[in-house]
Amino acid sequence: MTNPSDRSYTKDHEWALITGSSARVGITMFAQDALGDIVYVKLPEVGQQVSVGDSVAEVESTKSVSDIYSPLTGRVTAVNSSLDQAPELINSSPYGEGWIFEIEFDGDGGADTISAEEYEELTKG
């Protein structure tokens, strides 16, 4: 399984694509595969203040319901409203069209993330 090296990852299987002081956040290929077919996404509110590790969103699949945690501390600036009508985008394009929310942060945003290589090691086997 190949995870894009331009992102940071969490041990809870979220990714963050950081550009300047903002980041786009989603779940990894590993996470969507473990969840199965995603049928619903509860998105966060734009403007919501979040901290590292806060439950920000929720995905419901045919197997379970899972929280999505913020990899950074900051303010939600956008959500992927396409997921309201097509939650399966997370399954078909977890690193592209299946992103969940965007966040603006100060400094390093308190990030508790790992590299793509470290995430690969974490999810081996």
In a domain, 58, yes or no: yes
Model pTM score: 0.94
Confidence grade of residue 1 (pLDDT, cut at 50, 70, 90): low
In a domain, 85, yes or no: yes
State the CATH number of the domain containing residue 51: 2.40.50.100
Q: In the prediction, which pLDDT does 107 show?
A: 80
In a domain, 43, yes or no: yes
Q: In the prediction, which pLDDT does 125 show?
A: 67
Q: Could you tell me if residue 4 is left (phi over 0), alpha (psi between -120 and 50 degrees) or otherwise beta?
A: beta
Q: How far is CA 118 from CA 13, 36, 104, in A?
A: 12, 24, 25
Residue 23 structural domain: 8-106
In a domain, 125, yes or no: no
Sequential DSSP letters for the chain: ----TTSEE-TTSEEEEEETTEEEEEE-HHHHHHH-SEEEEEPPPTT-EE-TT-EEEEEEESS-EEEEE-SS-EEEEEE-THHHH-TTHHHH-TTTTT--EEEE-STTTT---B-HHHHHHHH--
Mean of the per-residue pLDDT values of the chain: 94
CA 116 – CA 106 distance, rounded (Å):
23
pLDDT tens digit sequence for 55-102: 999 999 998 999 999 999 999 999 999 999 999 999 999 999 999 999
Quote the number of domains for the chain.
1
In a domain, 90, yes or no: yes
In a domain, 121, yes or no: no
